[in-house]
Structure formats: structure tokens, C-alpha cells
Amino acid sequence: MSDESSSIWLFTAEEISNSPSRLAGIKSEDEFNYRYLAAQMIQDIGEKLSVFQLCTNTAIVYMHRFYMKQSFHKFKYNTMSAACLFLAAKVEEQPRKIEHVAKVVYNFTHKDQKVPDARSQHEIQDIMEEISCDEQILLQTLGFTTIVEHPHTQIVTTCSLIRASKEISHSSYVFATTSLLLTTMCLQYKSPVISCVCINVACKWSGYEVPKSAEGRYWFTYVDPSMTIERLEELSKELSTAMERNPSKLFKMRKSLSHLKVCYTVLCYTVLCYTVLCYTVLCYTVFGIL
């Protein structure tokens, strides 16, 4: 994803404060709750459909971007959240049948109903049509920009370089996903910046201070050369405050994100395989050996 295409989805704090929902009369705290509920619904649907966390993360970013162009007043988050996941599953090559997505949404909204009946089948059909319609609106609103760069891969690579413990690495990985549910950082900062923030918060909470490099540079300057220690501390405080301010949401998220340890392990293995492949190609190209 080019810097140009990703930068069009970065907004200032003022622009976020003047989102379509705010301009439609929705209060700031209400919009925050709507975003959280939409993100949590995407997380829950993703678990039921057994998609990778990467797919769920992409869907949450779609949701945040969509509501920077549209209002919660005009588009309710229930079916739009499902449409975000339905589209993300295609983009991340984990497609799910629209009927399966609709059934999961129906079950979430009809938890007391144990036995499906003829009426429920009719409602599921209506949900399918809504998801299909919302997907088209979503695509048009996103300008068909569907590729999302996440900070998670950078976190795994950076933690390996700074020799962080597995606990710090895993916490950083979880914080990256937490930032999607509790903040709008994905709308304000590029993924290298977010990866630095998540690692820094994890290190602080663990009492670990990363030493400077042999060149006398801070570790985060290798991830994002424009990052300063003042800015890193400011953004780290922003993320920490968001988590401390929402303990009940954080507790619920810890339960729903408990599977991320497996996701983190899989990603670590993928990065390792990629590194070995690059090294093999380098040896063959430069040294003429396999």
C-alpha cells in the first residue's frame, strides 16, 4: 500500500472531532461507544466465523474509515459491521458465505430464540440483502481502497531486533489490536508509529528499558525515523489512558482476545520463514551458494 493511498485515511484530531456523526448531533462519548460496539461486534462475528485476527482487524479499520465519511445516524452499525467483515474476509482471502454471516448476525440479535422458525429464515434473508447493499456502500465510501497496513508484523520484527521478551512481544501485539477497539489511532497515525507506541507501552508496563544501539540511536528511530522521544511518550500516554479509562471494556476484550497468543505465534513463524527465504535468496544471488 503506497504512502499516498494510506495518507488519505489519516485525519487530524480536529477532523475527527467534526466527523459526520458529530455534525449530525451525536455526542462525542456516544460516537466513541458506537465505534467500540461496532468494533466489538466485528470481533465477535469474526470469532464465530473462525477468520484470522488479521481479517477482523482489517474489518475494524474499514469501520473506522467508513464513519469518517458517513454518520452513525444514517447507517446503523449492526449490518455495516457485518458488511465490513464480509468484505475484509474477501480481501484477506478468507471468504465466508453471506448466508453464514447473516445467520451469525441474526443469532447475536436473537439470543433468546433457541429454535429457528419460518419467520427467522425470512429475517435472515433480509439481513443478507442489507449486508450486500451495505457492502456496496462501504466499497464506494472507501473509494475501493481495501488494502490495510497493520502494525502487527512490524511489532513482531521490531521486538525480535530489540530482544524483547515473549511477554513484551505478546503484550505489544495485543495492544495493537486493543488500539483498534478503544481508540481512533488507526485514523491518526501510520502503522510504524502505532507499532512503536504499542511496544513502548508494553516495555513500560514490564519495566524494561531498551538500550540505545551501537550507533547511539533509540530503537524507535529505526522503525520510524521521524519519531521523537517526546512524541512517543505523548502517544504512549494516549493509549495507556484509553485502556485505563475503560477497565470494563478492557476486561471483556481480554476474554475475546485470548486467542491472540496463537495468532502471534503463527505470525512469528511466518516472519521467520520469510527471513529464512530472503537469506537463502541473498546467499544464492550474492555468493552463488544454496
Residue 85 has what pLDDT? 97
Cell of 98: 453471506
Q: Which residue has the higher pLDDT, 259 or 119?
A: 119
Residue 249 has what pLDDT? 54
Q: Assess whether the region 10-141 and the region 152-287 belong to the same CATH fold.
A: yes
Confirm or reject CATH 1.10.472.10 for domain 152-287, answering yes or no: yes
Residue 240 has what pLDDT? 93
Residue 284 has what pLDDT? 45
DSSP type of residue 202: H
Asked if residue 257 lies in contact with residue 178, where contact means CB atoms within 8 angstroms, the answer is yes
Residue-wise over 113-141: b if at least 16 C-beta within 10 A, else e? eeeeeeeeeebbeebbebbeebbeebeeb
Cell of 229: 522521544
- Ramachandran area for residue 16 (φ above 0: left; ψ -120 to 50: alpha; else beta): alpha
**Does the structure show a pLDDT above 90 at 283?**
no
**Does the structure show a pLDDT above 50 at 82?**
yes
Q: Distance (Å, rounded) from C-alpha 214 to C-alpha 222?
A: 13
Domain residue ranges in the chain: 10-141, 152-287
Instruction: State which fold the 10-141 domain adopts.
Output: Cyclin A; domain 1 (1.10.472)
As a whole number, mean pLDDT of residues 71-82 equals 93
**Does the structure show a pLDDT above 50 at 275?**
no
